[in-house]
Chains A and B, each alone.
Chain A
Amino acid sequence: MSYSTFSPSNHDATREPMFFGRSVNVARYDKQKYPIFEKLIEKQLSFFWRPEEVDLTNDRKDFMDMPEHEKHIFLSNLKYQTLLDSVQGRSPNVAFLPVVSLPELETWFETWAFSETIHSRSYTHIIRNIVTEPSEVFDHIVTNPEIIKRAEAVTRLYDEFIQLVNIYGVHGAGVHMIDGERYDATLYNLKKRLYLTLVSVNVLEAIRFYVSFACSFAFAERALMEGNAKIIKLIARDEALHLTGTQHMLNLMAAGADDPDFKQIAAECEEQVYAIFREAAEQEKDWAEYLFSEGSMIGLNARILGDYVEYITNVRMKALGLTEIFPQRQNPLPWMNGWLVSDNVQVAPQEAEISSYLVGQIDNEVDTDDFDGFDL
Chain B
Amino acid sequence: MSGIPRIKVNNYHTFYYQYEFSLLDALEAQNIPAPYSCRGGYCGCCKVKLIEGQVDYIQESLVDLKEDEILTCCCRPQSHIEIELPDD
A-side contacts of B44, CB under 8 Å: 244, 247, 319
Instruction: State the Cβ distance, A300 to closest chain B Cβ, in Å.
Output: 19
Contact check, B38 vs A43: say whether CB atoms are below 8 A apart. no
In the complex, residue of chain A having the shortest beta-carbon distance to the beta carbon of B88: A328
Q: Are A341 and B42 in contact (CB under 8 A)?
A: no
CB-defined interface of B29-70 with A at 8 Å, one 1/0 digit per residue?
000000011111011110000000000000110111000000
The CB with the most chain A CB atoms within 10 A, among B36, B42, B62, B73, is that of B42
Given contacts A337-B37, A342-B40, contact A244 B59 (CB under 8 A): no
Contacts of A355 in B (CB 8 A): 40
Contact A337 B40 (CB under 8 A): no
Q: How many B residues face the partner with a CB closer than 8 A?
A: 17
Distance between B17 CB and nearest chain A CB, rounded to angstroms: 19
A341 near B63: Cβ-Cβ < 8 Å:
no
Chain B residues whose CB sits within 8 angstroms of the CB of A244 once the complex forms: 42-44, 62-64
- Report the minimum CB–CB distance from B29 to chain A (whole Å): 15
Question: How far is A356 from B42 in the complex, measured between Cα atoms in Å?
Answer: 12
Quick check: is A15 within 8 A (CB to CB) of the other chain? no
B80 vs chain A, min Cβ distance (A):
25
Checking B36, B60, B64 against A341 with a beta-carbon cut-off of 8 angstroms, the contacting residue is B36
| B39 nearest CB neighbor, chain A only | A341
Least distance between B52 CB and chain A CB atoms (Å): 25
A187 CB-CB contact with B under 8 Å: no
Which residues of the partner chain A approach B73 to less than 8 Å between Cβ atoms? 344
Q: Is the interface of B mostly helix, strand, loop or mixed?
A: loop
Contact B39 A43 (CB under 8 A): no
A248 touches B64 (CB 8 A): yes
Closest to B40 in A: A342
Residues of B within 8 A of A43 (CB): 40, 42, 60, 62
Shortest beta-carbon distance, A339 to chain B, in Å?
A: 10
A40 beta carbon closer than 8 Å to chain B: yes
Q: For B62, what are the chain A residues with a Cβ–Cβ distance below 8 Å?
A: 36, 39-40, 43, 241, 244
Known: A244-B62, A247-B64, A251-B64. A341 touches B88 (CB 8 A): no
Of the residues A40, A315, A344, contact of B39 by C-beta under 8 Å: A344
Collect the chain A residues with CB atoms within 8 Å of residue B39's CB. 341-342, 344
| CB of A176 closer than 8 Å to a CB of B | no
Instruction: Judge if A224 is at the interface, Cβ distance under 8 Å.
Output: no
Chain B CB within 8 A of A118 CB:
no
Contacts of B42 in A (CB 8 A): 40, 43, 240-241, 244, 342
Contact B40 A356 (CB under 8 A): yes
Cα of A43 to Cα of B40 in the assembled complex, Å: 10
A355 to B42, CA, bound (A): 11
Q: Is the CB of B59 within 8 A of A337?
A: no
Docked CA distance A315–B38 (Å)? 14
Is A237's beta carbon under 8 Å from chain B? yes
**Given A342-B40, A344-B40, 14 further pairs, Cβ under 8 A:** A36-B64, A43-B40, A43-B42, A43-B62, A241-B42, A244-B44, A247-B44, A337-B36, A341-B36, A341-B38, A341-B39, A344-B39, A344-B73, A356-B59
13 contacts between A and B (CB under 8 A): A43-B42, A43-B62, A237-B38, A240-B38, A240-B43, A243-B43, A247-B63, A247-B64, A328-B88, A344-B59, A344-B73, A355-B40, A356-B40
